[in-house]
């Protein structure tokens, strides 16, 4: 149901009137720029760049176009049969539902993953974990690697590593049954021949044997930040975000489990973190994995984002 205030907001927009015109159908180019205006004004986008990106994501999705096709079609009329879908999508976005849930897909490392409100929306900075894992794998020259993804969500990390590594054995864990349904669906479409074995459970407890690579993007948002979040963040599953009072609740339970599941001779752990969690993460690694080396890597915005732990070697 679209609340009446959203309906009336939308029906008063020039965009709605242009779309309704029988005599002069709006062009795709005009619709694109009007959608951008609506998103800038009401859609909760943080800046012009985000408004531009989201309007292109929405129109390529609705028209089933690639970006090149979209820009080649700016003068063509916007198809009348897509009008209601466009207005419904805008109504959802005005209520701060994230664009990736509206389109139902999110790109990650060059592949499109299905996402919905059962899973966290993959973020671009998480791709750095993949780059690091692949670089390490190349250096080790191992014939086959056992890989674990803890807190798999939509399955992006596990599925990407299953595709990018040479013949790995990939296991993925999540505590959320709903998330595992989405991840399995994505794996069926995208994981290829190697596949991924999914486990429902708490952190590393469902895993058996030793792993060469363990990657985890676990919840690390501070409780206070979550409680203040009224917008897009509030639409994502709380269990994917909630890191407790300090943000460390989940990560600090995983670190003591690592000694039992990692290959003691040579292995790699990559943990995505929030920048203020760098120091407590280092302290916990030093306490629970005394022989390991830990370094903190920055993301493309220069913020401390990944704890890289090298064991043995």
Task: Choose one: 30-38, 216-224, 289-297, 303-311; the region binding ligand SAM (CB under 6 A).
Answer: 216-224
Q: Give the ranges where 97-242 is alpha helix by DSSP (H).
A: 99-103, 127-140, 156-164, 177-190, 223-228
Give kind and range of the element (H or E) at residue 311. strand 304-312
Structural contact between residues 273 and 219, judged by C-beta atoms closer than 8 angstroms:
no
How near is the Cβ of 14 to ligand SAM at its closest, in Å?
37
Q: Enumerate residues 110-149 that contact ligand SAM by CB under 6 A.
A: 120, 122, 126
Q: Taking each helix axis from N to C terminus, what angle separates 4-11 and 83-94, rounded to the nearest 10 degrees? A: 120
Q: SS3 for 15?
A: helix
Our measurement of the distance from residue 163's CA atom to the centroid of its chain's CA atoms, rounded to an integer in Å, reads 17
Check residue 203 for interaction with ligand SAM (CB under 6 A).
Answer: yes
Question: 51 or 122: whose CB is closer to ligand SAM?
Answer: 122
Tokens representing residue 224 in the block: 């206070």
How near is the Cβ of 243 to ligand SAM at its closest, in Å?
9
Give kind and range of the element (H or E) at residue 32. helix 28-42
Write the burial class of residue 145 (CB in 10 Å: 0-12 exposed, 13-18 middle, 19+ buried): buried
Cα separation, 40 vs 58, in Å, equals 14
Candidate list 218, 248, 294, 311; residue touching ligand SAM; CB under 6 A: 218
How near is the Cβ of 114 to ligand SAM at its closest, in Å?
12
- Closest-CA residue to 184 (of 139, 154, 225): 154
How near is the Cβ of 155 to ligand SAM at its closest, in Å?
8
Question: 36 or 305: whose CB is closer to ligand SAM?
Answer: 305
Candidate list 153, 168, 243, 247; residue touching ligand SAM; CB under 6 A: 153
How near is the Cβ of 201 to ligand SAM at its closest, in Å?
7
Size of the site for ligand SAM (CB under 6 A): 23
Q: SS3 for 115?
A: coil
Question: 51 or 247: whose CB is closer to ligand SAM?
Answer: 247
Check residue 159 for interaction with ligand SAM (CB under 6 A).
Answer: no
Check residue 202 for interaction with ligand SAM (CB under 6 A).
Answer: yes
Q: Which residue has the tokens 């009072």?
A: 245
Task: Choose one: 32-40, 168-176, 186-194, 282-290; the region binding ligand SAM (CB under 6 A).
Answer: 168-176
Structural contact between residues 171 and 147, judged by C-beta atoms closer than 8 angstroms:
yes
Check residue 160 for interaction with ligand SAM (CB under 6 A).
Answer: no
Check residue 179 for interaction with ligand SAM (CB under 6 A).
Answer: yes
Check residue 219 for interaction with ligand SAM (CB under 6 A).
Answer: yes
Question: Any bridge partners for residue 94, and if so which?
Answer: none
Check residue 243 for interaction with ligand SAM (CB under 6 A).
Answer: no
Check residue 152 for interaction with ligand SAM (CB under 6 A).
Answer: yes
User: What contacts 24+ positions apart, CB below 8 Å, involve 15-22?
Assistant: 15/90, 16/87, 19/78, 19/83, 19/86, 19/87, 20/83
Question: 90 or 175: whose CB is closer to ligand SAM?
Answer: 175
Contact set with ligand SAM (CB under 6 A) = 120, 122, 126, 150-154, 156-157, 173-176, 179, 202-203, 217-219, 239-240, 250
């Amino acid at each position: 149901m679209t609340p009446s205030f959203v309906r009336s907001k939308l029906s008063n927009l020039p965009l709605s009137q242009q779309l309704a015109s029988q005599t002069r159908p709006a062009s795709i180019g005009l619709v694109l720029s009007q959608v951008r205006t609506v998103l800038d004004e009401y859609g909760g986008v943080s800046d012009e760049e985000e408004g531009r990106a989201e309007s292109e994501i929405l129109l390529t999705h609705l028209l089933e176009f690639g970006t090149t096709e979209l820009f080649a079609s700016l003068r063509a009329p916007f198809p009348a049969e897509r009008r209601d879908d466009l207005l419904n999508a805008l109504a959802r976005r005005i209520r701060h539902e994230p664009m990736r849930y509206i389109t139902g897909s999110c790109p990650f490392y060059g592949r499109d993953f299905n996402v919905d409100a059962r899973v966290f929306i993959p973020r671009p900075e998480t791709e750095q974990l993949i780059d690091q894992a692949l670089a390490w794998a190349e250096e080790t020259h191992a014939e086959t690697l056992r890989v674990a993804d803890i807190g798999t969500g939509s399955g992006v990390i596990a599925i990407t590593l299953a595709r990018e590594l040479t013949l790995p054995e990939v296991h993925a864990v999540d505590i959320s049954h709903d998330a595992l349904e989405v991840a399995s669906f994505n794996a069926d479409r995208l994981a290829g021949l190697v596949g991924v074995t999914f486990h429902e459970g708490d952190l590393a407890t469902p895993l058996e044997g030793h792993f060469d690579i363990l990657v985890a993007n676990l919840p690390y948002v501070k409780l206070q930040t979550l409680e203040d979040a009224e917008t897009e963040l509030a639409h994502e599953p709380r269990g994917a975000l909630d890191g407790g009072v300090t943000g460390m609740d989940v990560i600090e339970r995983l670190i003591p489990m690592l000694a039992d599941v990692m290959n003691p001779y040579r292995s790699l752990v990559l943990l995505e973190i929030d920048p203020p969690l760098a120091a407590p993460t280092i302290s916990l690694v030093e306490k629970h994995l005394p022989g390991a080396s830990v370094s903190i890597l920055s993301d493309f915005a220069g913020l401390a984002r990944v704890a890289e732990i090298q064991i043995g070697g």
